[in-house]
Structure 1
Amino acid sequence: MSRHRLSRRERRSGAVSPVPAETATAQEAPLAVSEADAVHEVTQTSEAVAEAERRTSTGLLSASVLMAAGTIVSRMSGFVRSALIFAAIGSSLNADIFTGANTIPNALYILLAGGIFNVVLVPQLVRAMKNDSDGGEAYAQRIVTLGLLVLGIATVVLVVFAPLLVRVVFDGRLFDPGNESALSSAYALMRYCLPQVFFYGAFVLVGQILNSRGRFGPMMWAPIANNLISCVVLVTFLLVYGGSNGSDGFSNGQELLLGVGSTVGIAVQALILLPYLKAAGFRYRPRFDFRGVGLGHTLRLGAWTLAFILVNQVMFVVVTRIGTSAGLLAVANGEPDPAGTTVYASAFLITQVPHGVITVSLVTATMPLISRLAAQGDFAAMRSEIRSNIRLVLALIAPIAAAVLALAGPLGTVVASWGAMTGRTETVSVTIAAFAPAIIFFSLHYMSLRGFYALEDTRTPFFLQVVLAAVNIGLAVSLTAQVEADGISSMLALSYGAAYLVGSLLAITMLSRRIGAIVDWSAVGFVTRLVAACLLALAAILGSAELLAGPLGIEGDGKVDAMLAIVVFGGLGAVTYLVAAWLLRIREVTSVVRTVARR
Structure 2
Amino acid sequence: MSRAATPPGTTDSRILSASAVMAAGTTVSRLSGYVRSALLVAALGTSLHADVFTIANTVPNMLYILLAGGVFNAVLVPQLVRSMKEDPDGGEAYTNRVITLAALFLGVVTVVLVLAAPFVMSVLLDSSWSDPALAEQRDSAIDFARYCLPQVFFYGMFVLVGQVLNARGRFGPMMWAPIANNVIAVGVLLVYLLAFGPAEGVERSGPFTGGRELLLGLGSTVGIVAQLLILLPYLRRAGFTYRPRFDFRGTGLGHTLRLGTWTVLFVIVNQVAYTVVVRLASGGPAESTDGTGYTIYSSSFLLVMVPHAILTVSLATAILPRLSAHARDHEYADVAGVLASTLRTALAVVLPFAALLPVVAPELATVVFGYGAGAADVESFVPTLSLLGIGLVVFTVHYLMLRGFYSLEQTRTVFLIQCAVSAVNVLAAVVLVRATSPADTAPALTLAYAAAYVVGAALSYGVLRGRLGGLHTPTLVRFLVRMVLAVTASTGAALAVAVLLPGWGEEPSRLLALARGAAIGLVDLGVLLLAARVLRLREITSVVDTVRGRLSRT
Instruction: Say what the alpha-carbon RMSD is for the aligned residues.
Output: 1.7
Q: Counterparts of 1:571 and 1:138 in 2: how far apart (Å)?
A: 56
Q: Deviations over 1:269-306 (max 9, x none)?
A: 00111111121121111111112332212311221111
- Relative distance call for 1:173 and 1:421 in structure 2 (3 A) is same
Q: Does residue 1:317 correspond to 2:275, yes or no?
A: yes
Alignment of 1:150-549 (within 5 A): 150-244=105-199, 246-330=204-288, 335-336=289-290, 338-518=291-471, 520-549=473-502
Q: 2:510 aligns with which of 550, 559, 571?
A: 559
Give yes or no for contact 2:177–2:230 (8 Å, CA) kept in 1: yes
- Matched-pair contact (CA < 8 Å) for 2:13–2:546: no
Contact 2:494 / 2:520 at 8 angstroms: preserved in 1? yes
CA contact (8 A) 2:297 2:442 kept: yes
Using the alignment, how far apart are the partners of 1:295 and 1:304 within structure 2?
Answer: 15
Asked if 1:75 is matched to 2:30, the reply is: yes
Q: Which deviations, in whole Å up to 9, do the C-alpha atoms of 1:542-579 show, x marking residues without a partner?
A: 111112336xx997622222222222110110111111
Q: Deviations over 1:249-272 (max 9, x none)?
A: 101111111111111110110011
Deviation string 1:218-247 (CA, Å, 9 cap, x unpaired) is 110000110111111111111111110522
Find 1:112's aligned residue among 67, 82, 85: 67
**Residue identity in the other structure for 2:416:** F
Q: Which amino acid aligns with 2:128?
A: R
Counterparts of 1:220 and 1:80 in 2: how far apart (Å)? Answer: 18
* Pairwise CA distance, 1:56: 7.1
Q: Which moved more, 1:541-550 or 1:312-321?
A: 541-550
TM-score (norm 1): 0.87
What letter corresponds to residue 569 of structure 1 in structure 2?
Answer: I
Deviates more, 1:288-297 or 1:433-442: 288-297
Task: Measure the CA separation in 1 of the matches of 2:258 and 2:237.
Answer: 33
Q: Which amino acid aligns with 1:483?
A: T
Q: 1:425 to 1:215 in 2, by over 3 A?
A: same
Give the counterpart of 2:535 among 571, 580, 584: 584
The answer for unaligned runs of 5 or more in structure 2 is 1-9
Equivalent position SS for 1:549:
coil
Shift of 1:423: 4.2
Deviations 1:406-453 (A, max 9, x none): 211111112221112214311112111111111111111000111111
1:88 counterpart = 2:43? yes
In the TM superposition, what whole-angstrom CA distance separates every residue of 1:480-504 from its partner, at most 9, and x where no partner exists?
1122221110111111112111110
SS in 2 for 1:481: helix
Inter-partner Cα distance in structure 2 for 1:450 and 1:57: 17
8 Å Cα contact 1:116/1:298 also seen in 2: no
Post-superposition shift, 1:508?
A: 0.7
Hey, what's the Cα distance between the residues in 1 that align with 2:260 and 2:368? 38
CA distance in 2, matches of 1:56, 1:574: 26
Task: Give the conservation status (yes or no) of the 8 Å contact 2:337–2:472.
Answer: no
Name the CA distance, whole Å, in 2 between partners of 1:504 and 1:457.
Answer: 17
For residue 28 of structure 1, what is the aligned residue in structure 2?
none
Gaps of 5+ in 1: 1-54
In the alignment of these two chains, the number of paired residues is 538
Structure 1 range deviating more: 132-141 or 182-191: 132-141
> Any conservation in 2 of the 1:82–1:346 contact (CA below 8 Å)?
yes
Give yes or no for contact 2:277–2:445 (8 Å, CA) kept in 1: yes
Q: Can you list the C-alpha shifts for 1:370-411, whole angstroms capped at 9, x where unaligned?
A: 111112112222212211111111111111111222211111
**How far has the Cα of 1:478 moved from its partner?**
1.1
5 Å-filtered alignment, 1:15-34, equals: none
Q: Which moved more, 1:129-138 or 1:150-159?
A: 129-138
| Runs of 4 or more consecutive aligned structure 1 residues displaced over 4 Å after TM superposition | 55-58, 553-556
In structure 2, the partner of 1:48 is none
Q: How far apart are the structure 2 equivalents of 1:147 and 1:294?
A: 15
Q: In structure 2, what is the Cα distance between the partners aligned to 1:278 and 1:140?
A: 13
Is residue 2:523 matched to residue 1:572? yes
Q: How does 1:121-136 map to 2 (within 5 A)?
A: 121-136=76-91
Select 1:598's aligned residue among 534, 549, 552: 549
Give secondary structure in 2 for the equivalent of 1:545.
helix
The answer as to whether partners of 1:402 and 1:537 remain within 8 angstroms in 2 is no
What is the SS of the residue equivalent to 1:489?
Answer: helix
Q: Tell me the alpha carbon deviations over residues 84-109 of structure 1, each in whole angstroms, 9 at most, x when there is no partner.
A: 11111111112112111111111111
| Higher alpha-carbon deviation: 361-370 or 540-549 | 540-549
Segment of structure 1 superposing worse, 557-566 or 462-471: 557-566
* Number of the residue aligned with 2:7: none
Q: Contact 1:145 / 1:287 at 8 angstroms: preserved in 2?
A: yes
> How high is the sequence identity, in percent, across the aligned residues?
50
Q: 1:423·1:557 contact (CA, 8 Å) conserved in 2?
A: no
> Structure 1 CA distance, aligned partners of 2:531 and 2:369?
33
